[in-house]
């Protein structure tokens, strides 16, 4: 990892740059596949699954028997762990439910807001080097709590044309209504346009590589909503002399092993801690099964020394991390003054992997600095707020003239007339 001492603010942009390709490099490929899938449906999806995943599937739907067989392959202890994680995620997301908001804004003018589920949602579950069955829990649990009627899951098959048994177990546990063996750009395109085997949905959720992220953004051009731009994983740790260097190193490596384009950063006001963490990273990296992946991610990562807390906080906010760990004496300062972060992990015994799996918070979070404007997935992500209003005779008499004056000032005569015709009937 590169050690950087007291960088000037003018250097922050280049230092904090993510190791990602530009959208221009990817968009041409994504556009080409989207056009093909929109025109040729299932046949196009089948072609790209063969090209990118190395398997030609005549049918990409997962049958009930396949799910039953997969469940038998998941060890009971792991099944129990998944169920416990699901229970914690349910507890946290059920607590996010809000009741109807109703108020009389003026005499005779009643307004209220109610939430309704998004009826059709698509869940993208990454496969590849690490099939993320935990993401099934993070997306399907709040979708089920929200009351979504159609929950369609897409995930890339392996070269045998199968999905990981753990993904299928989690999917049936959480009420997924349809499981499709399709990944990458073609999965997002299928959910956007609909094919013979993939239902068209109203909103697409889930993380993925840079190609999936750009595909999700392109889907919005065709009227399909997305949760957020969520690309390669990232972590920023702030730690001082009170931190345990081996803990910090383990947290950095836990994100580095996600993929070669992941990025991890340590910001510290302690040079001695940075030196200790650097040595620990090298030591722990040597025994990781996914060492080759983690090494490439570590090459994109930084250990940054700054002199003051104020500078540290400003730099962290500028980066806007997906995951943000605080391991320091004055943790309240770093909690209260952060504005841009997807999810925050506080204290020496709160590893980021707890949020990835079982604490209850959601791990589908904004990356690439999008935490400056986006929230992570939550219960409201699967719902819409609808406003209602009911105005009585007294109410329209009360606010009618206000509406008339404003409509006339905007030059919208029909708007004014819609009120005037009613007032004429009500006034003596």
Q: Burial code of 36-48, b = ≥16 C-beta within 10 A, e = fewer?
A: bbbeebbebbbbb
| 323 belongs to the catalytic site | yes
Q: For residue 93, say whether it is annotated as part of any ligand binding site.
A: no
Taking phi over 0 as left and psi of -120 to 50 as alpha, with beta for the rest, 23 belongs to alpha
What is d(CA 324, CA 342) in angstroms, rounded to the nearest whole number?
8
Q: For residue 10, say whether it is annotated as part of any ligand binding site.
A: no
Measured over the CA atoms of residue 173, residue 174, residue 175 and residue 177, the dihedral's sign is negative
Q: For residue 415, say whether it is annotated as part of any ligand binding site.
A: yes
Sheet strand arrangement including 383-391: 101-106, 109-117, 383-391
User: How far from 372 is each of 309, 317, 322, 339, CA to CA, in Å?
Assistant: 20, 8, 10, 7
Q: For residue 124, say whether it is annotated as part of any ligand binding site.
A: yes
Which residue out of 280, 322, 352, 363 is catalytically annotated?
322
Q: For residue 389, say whether it is annotated as part of any ligand binding site.
A: no
Phi, psi of 245 (to 5 degrees): -60, -35
Q: For residue 323, say whether it is annotated as part of any ligand binding site.
A: yes
Sheet strand arrangement including 234-239: 2-5, 302-305, 263-268, 234-239, 323-327, 343-346
Taking phi over 0 as left and psi of -120 to 50 as alpha, with beta for the rest, 66 belongs to alpha
Q: How many Cβ atoms are within 10 Å of 363's Cβ, its own excluded?
A: 26
Q: What three-state secondary structure class fits 75?
A: coil
C-alpha distance across the termini of the chain, in Å: 82
Q: For residue 255, say whether it is annotated as part of any ligand binding site.
A: yes
Q: What three-state secondary structure class fits 296?
A: helix
| 348 belongs to the catalytic site | no
- Please answer whether residues 423 and 391 qualify as being in contact, where contact means their C-beta atoms are separated by less than 8 angstroms: no
What is d(CA 17, CA 178) in angstroms, rounded to the nearest whole number?
39
Tokens of 322: 């997906």
Which residue out of 166, 234, 280, 323 is catalytically annotated?
323
Tokens of 1: 């990892």
Phi, psi of 416 (to 5 degrees): -65, -45
- Please answer whether residues 16 and 207 qualify as being in contact, where contact means their C-beta atoms are separated by less than 8 angstroms: no
Supply the DSSP symbol for 161.
S
Q: For residue 240, say whether it is annotated as part of any ligand binding site.
A: no
In DSSP notation, 93-113 reads HHTT----EEEEEETTEEEEE
- Please answer whether residues 105 and 111 qualify as being in contact, where contact means their C-beta atoms are separated by less than 8 angstroms: yes
Residues comprising the binding site? Answer: 124, 186, 209, 233, 255, 258, 323, 356, 410, 415
Residues comprising the binding site for NAD(+)? Answer: 124, 186, 209
Catalytic positions? 322-323
Residues comprising the binding site for substrate? Answer: 233, 255, 258, 323, 356, 410, 415
Residues comprising the binding site for Zn(2+)? Answer: 255, 258, 356, 415
């Amino acid at each position: 990892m590169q050690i950087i001492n007291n960088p000037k603010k003018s250097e922050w942009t280049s230092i904090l740059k993510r190791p990602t390709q530009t959208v221009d490099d990817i968009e041409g490929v994504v556009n080409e596949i989207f056009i093909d899938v929109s025109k040729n449906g299932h046949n196009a999806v089948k072609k790209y699954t063969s090209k990118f995943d190395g398997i030609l599937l005549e049918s990409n739907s997962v049958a009930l028997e396949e799910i039953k067989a997969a469940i038998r392959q998941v060890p009971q202890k792991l099944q129990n762990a998944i169920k416990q994680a699901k229970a914690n995620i349910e507890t946290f997301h059920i607590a996010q439910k809000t009741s109807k908001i109703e108020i009389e804004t003026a005499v005779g003018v009643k307004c209220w807001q109610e939430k309704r589920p998004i009826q059709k949602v698509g869940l993208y579950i990454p496969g590849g080097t690490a099939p993320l069955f935990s993401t099934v829990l993070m997306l399907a649990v709040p979708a089920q709590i929200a009351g979504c009627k159609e929950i369609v899951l897409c995930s890339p098959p392996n070269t045998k044309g199968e999905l990981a048994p753990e993904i299928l177990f989690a999917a049936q546990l959480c009420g997924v209504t349809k499981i499709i063996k399709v990944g990458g750009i073609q999965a997002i395109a299928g959910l956007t346009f609909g094919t013979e085997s993939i239902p068209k949905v109203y909103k697409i959720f889930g993380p993925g590589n840079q190609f999936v992220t750009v595909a999700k953004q392109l889907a919005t051009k065709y009227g399909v909503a997305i949760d957020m731009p969520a690309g390669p994983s990232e972590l920023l740790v702030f730690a001082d002399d009170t931190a345990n260097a081996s803990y910090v190193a383990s947290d950095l490596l836990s994100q580095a092993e996600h993929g070669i384009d992941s990025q991890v950063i340590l910001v510290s006001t302690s040079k001695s801690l940075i030196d200790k963490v650097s040595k620990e990273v090298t030591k722990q990296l040597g025994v990781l099964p996914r060492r080759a992946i983690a090494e490439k991610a570590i090459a994109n990562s930084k250990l940054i020394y700054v002199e003051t807390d104020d500078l540290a906080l400003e730099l962290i906010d500028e980066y806007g991390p997906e995951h943000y760990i605080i391991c320091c004496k004055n943790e309240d300062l770093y909690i209260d003054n952060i504005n841009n972060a997807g999810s925050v992990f506080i204290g020496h015994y709160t590893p980021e992997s707890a949020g990835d799996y079982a604490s209850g918070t959601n791990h589908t979070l904004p990356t690439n600095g999008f935490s400056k404007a986006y929230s992570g997935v939550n219960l409201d992500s699967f719902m819409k707020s609808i406003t209602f209003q009911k105005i009585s005779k007294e109410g329209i008499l009360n606010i009618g003239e206000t509406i008339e004056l404003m409509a006339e000032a905007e030059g919208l005569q029909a708007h004014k007339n819609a009120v005037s015709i009613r007032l004429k009937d009500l006034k003596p």
